[in-house]
Structure formats: structure tokens, C-alpha cells
């Protein structure tokens, strides 16, 4: 059950991003990429249920609940003030649901683990582009607040991932220099060792004295 809830959390977050601009009549270019993310999340959730140990009735119940909820939110029966509240809550959903826990975890262990710098960079670039289009196309302050908060958290993750890469490079350089110094010290130690000569034998061509 915990796995199904954690899997549907991104789906709920994406639908909260999609609904307000859709219901307020904004152009498709203000939320088009969210539709692609929504479809992608649906496929990912289906794959999680398919290849995990989740019981079939749990997967079916979750799918039906999400479908009914999304259908109601996309219908004209959902009041606009409900959409406004959901839009505002999206900031907390994204922060508490994914970004903040990752940031805190990185701070506790002192690195960003396997977090990709390129992925974080693309997230920041996407937030920057969405902030620009929101200012130009809609001027919606709630959308702006959501994108600004996400951009800030994604920027922190980007800095953490870059710091981790630098830590790994410094560790590799330090390990390499330590190995070189150890090898040099070993060679110097061997050079300082005295050479032990064995007893000299008869010179070539000489004969032993006759008895």
C-alpha cells in the first residue's frame, strides 16, 4: 500500500499543475509539457504495479481512484475555488513529497549520491523556461509561486550534485597523489639499502695452487 501511494504521488502533483491553466482557458503552450509528463507518469505507475509485488486488487483500486479523481477535476463540476486551493497546495505537495526529503538526505550523508548533474540542470532549465512563459503568457501568480519554489529546490539539488562531483574528483586526485608518493618513498628506501656481496670466487682462467 505504501508503494502504491508513493507511486501515485507524482501523478497527483502533475494533475495539480495541469488543471488550473486548463480550466482557466490558458493556451496549450502554457501546460503542454505537463500533459506529456502526465502520460509518462501513468505509464510509469502501470510499470511499477506490473513488476512489483503489489496485489492486483490494490493496483486496480488505486487506478480507479486516480481515474475518478482526475475525471472529476477535469470536469465542469469541479468548482474553480477548489482548483485554486489545489493549485496552491501543489507547492507543498512537490516540496514535501520529493524535493525537500532528497535535499535533507543529501545534507545528512554529505553528498548527492548518484543524483545526475545533467538531470538537475535540465530541471532548473525547465523551471526557468516555465517562469518566463508564465510571466509573458499568463501572469498567474499562483503558477509563478509554484515554479519559483520548484526552481529554488531544483537549484539546491543541482548545487549538491555538482559538489558531489567535485568531492569525487578531489578524492581521486588525492588517492592518485598518495599512491605516487608511496611509490617514490618505496624506491628511495630500496636505493638506500646496502648491497650484500657474496665471497669472491677464483678469477676466470686462474688455476688452483698445487698441493
The tens digit of pLDDT for each residue in 55-92 reads: 888 878 888 887 887 778 777 787 878 777 877 777 77
Please give the DSSP secondary-structure letter assigned to residue 154.
H
Q: 26-65, pLDDT tens digit by residue? A: 776 666 777 777 777 778 777 877 887 778 888 788 888 8
The dihedrals phi and psi of 3, each to the nearest 5 degrees, come to -65, -40
Task: Round the average pLDDT of the chain to a whole number and report it.
Answer: 75
Q: What is the DSSP string of 56-95?
A: HHHHHHHHHHHHHHHHHHHSTTS-HHHHHHHHHHHHHHHI
Please indicate, yes or no, whether the overall pTM of this predicted structure exceeds 0.85: no
Q: How far apart are the first and last CA of the chain?
A: 103
Amino acid at each position: 500500500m505504501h508503494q502504491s501511494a508513493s507511486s501515485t504521488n507524482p501523478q497527483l502533483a502533475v494533475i495539480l499543475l495541469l488543471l488550473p491553466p486548463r480550466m482557466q482557458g490558458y493556451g496549450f503552450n502554457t501546460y503542454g509539457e505537463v500533459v506529456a509528463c502526465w502520460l509518462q507518469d501513468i505509464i510509469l505507475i502501470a510499470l511499477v504495479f506490473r513488476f512489483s509485488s503489489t496485489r492486483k486488487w490494490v493496483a486496480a483500486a488505486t487506478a480507479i481512484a486516480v481515474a475518478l479523481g482526475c475525471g472529476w477535476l477535469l470536469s465542469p463540476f469541479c468548482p474553480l475555488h477548489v482548483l485554486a486551493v489545489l493549485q496552491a497546495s501543489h507547492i507543498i505537495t512537490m516540496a514535501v513529497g520529493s524535493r525537500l526529503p532528497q535535499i535533507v538526505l543529501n545534507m545528512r550523508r554529505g553528498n548527492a549520491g548518484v543524483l545526475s548533474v545533467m538531470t538537475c540542470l535540465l530541471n532548473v532549465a525547465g523551471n526557468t523556461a516555465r517562469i518566463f512563459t508564465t510571466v509573458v503568457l499568463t501572469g498567474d501568480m499562483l503558477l509563478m509561486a509554484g515554479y519559483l519554489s520548484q526552481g529554488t529546490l531544483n537549484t539546491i539539488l543541482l548545487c549538491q550534485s555538482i559538489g558531489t562531483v567535485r568531492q569525487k574528483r578531489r578524492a581521486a586526485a588525492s588517492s592518485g597523489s598518495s599512491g605516487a608518493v608511496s611509490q617514490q618513498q618505496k624506491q628511495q628506501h630500496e636505493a638506500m639499502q646496502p648491497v650484500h656481496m657474496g665471497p669472491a670466487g677464483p678469477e676466470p682462467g686462474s688455476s688452483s695452487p698445487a698441493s
